[in-house]
């Protein structure tokens, strides 16, 4: 990805409150073409709220959001055809067959790629003649994914896209999603609780905790720089280390550069699941 290109999505000091409840708190983030950003966070951390604000479905309480260089509240319908979205519970098209539903959906998108549609129908093993209301939850999700992707949107927002897919479809979908993003110069923002998927396909991790973006990093950087330091009791932590979480003598930092200092016992890398557990311990 090229950071000199125009960013696809920019959030500045994005805050969303529901009455007294702060769902997003001063979030700064810029997403560029080719990024596949995995959004991780506990239930209620603010993932869906972030996605809805970015899509203009929900209004931010303060701060700003720009999508494709346009303030989200000024997006035209033409610009909206460059965004794809699959919500947690996709719905609609009851009473239609899969192929009729696709015909109707396709008519809204001049850039629709029929070849891509056919490829993905086959990949998900969807029968075009099947009635939408008779599809299983996973099959409906697959159809919603095709509908959101077949016009190669510049920004694809997926709220737990693979939660209802079986492991084989899930693995394949994630790998293909990554390829599609690279190939189309799109940017993908997806949430998932399946850390192994995220680790395998995301280029970046965005981790939300209680509405705050506590980590936003390239996955490779994350492996190198986020470490769990074990210290002895007298150790003084170098001031330049940025502490994400501290639990007694265990300190999680996100900018470790092989520093050695008195009292450091070990500096261990964590996989994403371990990192998540440690951050919430
Ligand atoms: N429409 C709403 N009205 C009031 N509170 C809301 C509304 N939508 C979300 N919230 C609150 O905002 C917080 C963030 O919710 P959000 O749905 O963004 O979490 P999430 O990270 O997507 O969770 P999950 O992993 O369970 O889907 C929660 O405390 C939730 O109760």
For the Cβ of 49 lying below 6 angstroms from any atom of ligand 1, the answer is yes
Distance 114 CA to ligand 1 centre (A): 36
Give ∠ CA 182-184-185 in degrees, rounded to 5: 65
How many Å is the Cα radius of gyration of the chain? 21
Distance 86 CA to ligand 1 centre (A): 17
Domain 9-219 sits in CATH at 3.40.50.300
Distance 73 CA to ligand 1 centre (A): 21
Task: Evaluate whether 55 touches 83 at the Cβ level (below 8 Å).
Answer: yes
CA nearest ligand 1 atom 2, residue: 18
Is this model's pTM higher than 0.95 or not? no
- Distance (Å, whole) CA 14 – CA 19: 16
Q: Lay out the sheet containing 70-71: strands in order across.
A: 21-31, 9-18, 62-67, 70-71
Q: Lay out the sheet containing 243-247: strands in order across.
A: 243-247, 250-253, 227-231, 264-269
Q: Which atom of ligand 1 is nearest to the CA of 49?
A: 18
In order along its 281 residues, the chain shows pLDDT tens digits of: 556 688 999 999 999 999 989 999 999 999 999 899 999 999 999 999 999 999 999 999 999 999 999 999 999 988 888 999 988 777 788 899 999 999 999 999 988 999 989 988 998 889 999 999 999 888 888 898 899 989 989 999 999 887 777 888 788 778 877 777 777 788 999 999 989 888 888 999 999 999 999 999 999 999 899 999 999 988 888 999 999 999 889 999 999 998 888 889 999 999 999 999 999 88
Strands 187-191 and 155-159: parallel
Distance 205 CA to ligand 1 centre (A): 20
The domain segmentation of the chain, as residue ranges, is 9-219, 226-279
At residue 3, the pLDDT reads 64
- Distance (Å, whole) CA 173 – CA 145: 10
- Distance (Å, whole) CA 104 – CA 277: 44
At residue 1, the pLDDT reads 57
For the Cβ of 21 lying below 6 angstroms from any atom of ligand 1, the answer is yes
For the Cβ of 45 lying below 6 angstroms from any atom of ligand 1, the answer is yes
- ipTM (interface predicted TM): 0.97
Distance 44 CA to ligand 1 centre (A): 5
For the Cβ of 46 lying below 6 angstroms from any atom of ligand 1, the answer is yes
C-alpha torsion 269→273→276→279, nearest 10: -50
CA nearest ligand 1 atom 26, residue: 43
Give ∠ CA 24-27-28 in degrees, rounded to 5: 165
Distance 157 CA to ligand 1 centre (A): 17
DSSP string, 183-209: HHT-EEEEE-S-HHHHHHH-SEEEEEE
Minimal CA–CA distance to 142: which of 113, 177, 114, 110?
177
Minimal CA–CA distance to 120: which of 180, 79, 56?
180
């Amino acid at each position: 990805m090229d950071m000199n290109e125009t960013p696809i999505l920019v959030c500045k000091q994005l805050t969303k409150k529901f009455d007294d409840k702060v769902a997003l708190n001063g979030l700064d983030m810029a997403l560029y073409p080719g990024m596949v950003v995995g959004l991780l966070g506990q239930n209620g951390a603010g993932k869906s709220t972030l996605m809805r604000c970015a899509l203009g479905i929900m209004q931010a309480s303060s701060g700003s959001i720009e999508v494709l260089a346009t303030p989200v509240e000024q997006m035209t319908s033409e610009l909206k055809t460059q965004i794809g979205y699959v919500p947690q519970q996709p719905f609609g098209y009851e009473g239609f067959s899969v192929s009729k539903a696709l015909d109707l959906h396709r008519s809204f998108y001049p850039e629709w790629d029929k070849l891509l549609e056919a490829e993905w129908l086959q990949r998900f093993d969807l029968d075009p003649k099947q009635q939408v209301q008779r599809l299983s939850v996973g099959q409906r999700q697959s159809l919603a994914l095709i509908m959101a992707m077949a016009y190669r949107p510049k920004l694809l927002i997926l709220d737990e896209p693979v939660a209802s897919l079986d492991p084989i479809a899930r693995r394949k979908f994630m790998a293909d999603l990554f390829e599609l993003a690279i190939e189309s110069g799109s940017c993908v923002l997806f949430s998932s609780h399946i850390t192994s998927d995220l680790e395998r396909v995301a280029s970046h991790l965005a981790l939300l905790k209680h509405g705050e973006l506590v980590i936003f990093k390239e996955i490779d950087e994350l492996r190198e720089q986020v470490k769990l330091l074990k210290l002895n009791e007298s150790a003084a932590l170098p001031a330049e280390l940025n502490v994400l979480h501290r639990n007694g003598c265990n300190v999680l930092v996100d900018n470790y550069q092989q520093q050695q200092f008195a009292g450091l016992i070990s500096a261990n890398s964590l996989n994403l699941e371990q990192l998540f557990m440690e951050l919430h311990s």
